């Protein structure tokens, strides 16, 4: 009797039990072998793509390959350009960023999704619901842009009396026009 129990546990019965348990639990050895085989196939496909005879390529193939390689560096250089633009032209940068504030969230989400695709990130699809623009936000943004444009165009030359009055008044800060006049006169002396 014991021989039947032992042969059942360690003989054909063990193989049957392994088959039943294999349906519910992953066999790590088989899983690793499958992953290894799949990885080998992917690497072989990459090797075939990059080592294929590229002598019969047309100018169109080269152009499309070049265009496919542009989005990532263009976006990265664009962000670096924005960070350089901010200290060089703060008024222009502020105007542009304020104008970007008018972009609807759904459109910004779509643009983010496209950028995320190129950087292999995942886009949170339902996070940005469609909302209409608020008229107050548009009005505020346009007022801000007009104010910034006024700061840029405030290169009005002051009369001698206005300039001296602004320079002699120690209680109020200098206006942009007074500072521009001071800079103009200083540059003329050099």
Has residue 75 got a pLDDT over 90? no
| The predicted structure's pLDDT at residue 137 | 82
Read off φ and ψ for residue 183, nearest 5 degrees.
Answer: -65, -40
- Asked if residues 170 and 144 have their Cβ atoms less than 8 Å apart, the reply is no
Confidence category of residue 84, pLDDT binned at 50, 70, 90: very high
Q: What is the mean pLDDT of residues 181-189?
A: 80
Interacting residues of 127 by C-beta distance below 8 A, sequence separation 6+: 109
pLDDT at 168 over 70: yes
- pTM, full prediction: 0.38
Using the CB atoms, write b or e for 26-54: b if 16+ within 10 Å.
Answer: eeeeeeeeeeeeeeeeeeeeeeeeeeeee
Report how far apart, in Å, the C-alpha atoms of 83 and of each of 41, 87, 100, 150, 153 are.
43, 8, 15, 24, 24
Select the more confidently predicted residue: 120 or 175.
175
Residue 158 has pLDDT above 50, yes or no: yes
pLDDT surpasses 60 at 60: yes
- What per-residue confidence (pLDDT) applies to 65? 82
pLDDT band at 12 (very low <50, low <70, confident <90, very high): low
How far apart CA 145 and CA 99 sit, in angstroms, is 8
Confidence bin at 121 (pLDDT 50/70/90): very low
Q: What is the DSSP string of 97-145?
A: HHHHTTS-HHHHHHHHHHHHHHTTPPP-TTTS---PPPHHHHHHHHHHH
């Amino acid at each position: 009797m014991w021989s039947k129990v032992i042969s059942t546990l360690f003989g054909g019965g063990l193989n049957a039990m392994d088959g039943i348990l294999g349906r519910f639990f992953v066999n790590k050895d088989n899983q690793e072998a499958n992953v290894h085989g799949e990885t080998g196939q992917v690497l072989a496909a990459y090797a075939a793509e990059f080592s294929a005879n590229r002598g019969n390529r047309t100018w169109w193939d080269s152009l499309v390959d070049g265009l496919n390689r542009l989005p990532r560096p263009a976006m990265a250089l664009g962000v670096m350009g924005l960070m350089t633009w901010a200290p060089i032209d703060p008024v222009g940068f502020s105007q542009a960023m304020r104008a970007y504030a008018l972009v609807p969230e759904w459109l910004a989400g779509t643009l983010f999704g496209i950028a995320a695709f190129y950087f292999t990130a995942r886009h949170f699809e339902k996070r940005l619901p469609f909302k209409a623009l608020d008229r107050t936000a548009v009005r505020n943004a346009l007022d801000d842009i007009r104010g910034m444009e006024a700061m840029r165009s405030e290169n009005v030359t002051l009369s001698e009396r206005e300039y001296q009055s602004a320079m002699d008044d120690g209680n109020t800060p200098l206006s942009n026009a007074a500072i521009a006049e001071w800079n103009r006169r200083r540059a003329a002396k050099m």
